[in-house]
Structure 1
Amino acid sequence: MAPDDRRRMIVRAVLPLVVEHGRGVTTAQIARAAGIGEGTIFRVFQDKDELFDACVEAALDPGEALEMIGEIPAELPLEKRLLEAVEALTAHLQRMGAVMAATLKGRLRAEEARNRKAPSGDSRRESFDAMQRAIRELFVPDADRLRLPVDKAASLFLTMLFAQSRAMPGSPEPAEMIDVFLHGAVRR
């Protein structure tokens, strides 16, 4: 297996362990989950910190969610397309939050945390732009029905979704959020 493929395979196998055990996951657990020997871990990663950084990078990557959104049939009603997109992006945001919380918990010193490689503003912007383009495509079949340009509708929808990801108790369910987004909060 090519080193990059092995690296991705290990990270994919380790992500659930990182969420469950945080930085306390052992190399034996990592090796078992990935179906490899412990020594193989360190032929691919310099140390566990580099592996954790790769896990964070993988969790931040919206590729899987974007792929799911890209597979949503355009023939579905807009409400259903948006609900499927919310489910895909919510799962991505939850995984991202769980991995970030698990890897940041247990850092020994604040200066170590500051010195670790953090995702750049550019990569976050690229990730958001990719999400915005994917959501935009869901609105295109109904562009003539929208009061806003497709780009603005997609950006506003994502803003609401991201706010929903930090929901307060009693916040609306995704279907309710979509209904209010599409039809407003005021009765006609």
Structure 2
Amino acid sequence: MTPRPAKGGRAPAMSTEQRREMIVRATIPLLIEQGSSVTTRRIAQAAGIGEGTVFRVFTDKEELLDACVAEAMDPGTSLAEIRSIPLDQPLAARLTQAAEALRAHVDRIGAVMGALHATEGRSRAAGRPGTKSPDRQAGMNAATDAIAGLFAPEEDSLRLPPRQLAQLFFGLLFTSSIQESPQDIGPVVDVFLHGALASTG
């Protein structure tokens, strides 16, 4: 949240955490574009701050890159999008939106990691001692729970429990060989809901 201007028109100083988040948000698009070769000077320009401010928040550029990888892998934004999907929409529409949110998250991870690998940069958040690895299982569980919540309006007519359906949908989505574009998600959702056989009735 952007701090409100104080009296006299000046915005209050950001906390260290707010400044870290702001710098990371400014860095990720540059990281995807330039990989680990992006300079702290360019990052500072994108963030609208002095280069020295970067080093008052991060020990060095490597720590900043680690923070960017951790941010890219954090599923929080995609999970919030899934949880905000209106339940009064048709189930197919709900699942399509959830799939798009999850694919956007995966694409973002791929873009960041690919850029780092291409420029021989850091490949994962746990690349340095003391860096906490993302809890992937916790992220998977949270995503499964979020998708399960989308089945709530149809719970009485489901053939399987919502969480089991969510696990099946999650697996189908990420083991399929479809192209990673929104228009290709529809058939996956359709087969998931209605099966592989055409209706003969």
TM > 0.5: yes
How far 1:114 sits from its partner (Å)?
8.2
2:65–2:122 Cα contact (<8 Å) kept = no
1:174 matched to 2:185? The reply is: yes
How far 1:39 sits from its partner (Å)?
0.5
Which residue matches 1:184? 195
How far 1:168 sits from its partner (Å)?
6.5
> What letter matches 1:126 in structure 2?
A
1:35-54 alignment to 2 at 5 Å? 35-54=48-67
Structure 1 unaligned residues grouped into runs of 5+:
none
Of residues 99, 108, 112 in structure 2, which corresponds to 1:99? 112
The structure-2 alpha-carbon separation of the partners of 1:187 and 1:119, relative to structure 1 and needing over 3 Å to count, comes to: farther
Which residue matches 2:3? none
- Secondary structure of 2:151's partner? helix
> What letter matches 1:152 in structure 2?
Q
Which residue matches 1:155? 167
Instruction: Report the TM-score, using the length of structure 1 for normalisation.
Output: 0.88
1:142 matched to 2:121? The reply is: no
1:69 matched to 2:82? The reply is: yes
The structure carrying a bigger helix percent of its residues is 1
- Secondary structure of 2:135's partner? helix
Alignment RMSD (CA, Å): 2.5
Which residue matches 1:85? 98
The structure-2 alpha-carbon separation of the partners of 1:22 and 1:90, relative to structure 1 and needing over 3 Å to count, comes to: same
Structure 1, residues 56-111: CA drift from partner, whole Å, max 9, x if none?
0000011111111111111001000011111111111101111122123333799x
Which residue matches 1:130? 142
1:22–1:106 Cα contact (<8 Å) kept = yes
Identity, % of aligned positions:
49
* Residue correspondences, number: 183
Of residues 68, 78, 86 in structure 2, which corresponds to 1:55? 68
> What letter matches 1:129 in structure 2?
N
- Secondary structure of 1:74's partner? coil
Structure 2 unaligned residues grouped into runs of 5+:
1-13
How far 1:4 sits from its partner (Å)?
0.7
2:96–2:189 Cα contact (<8 Å) kept = yes
- Secondary structure of 2:174's partner? helix
- Secondary structure of 1:36's partner? coil
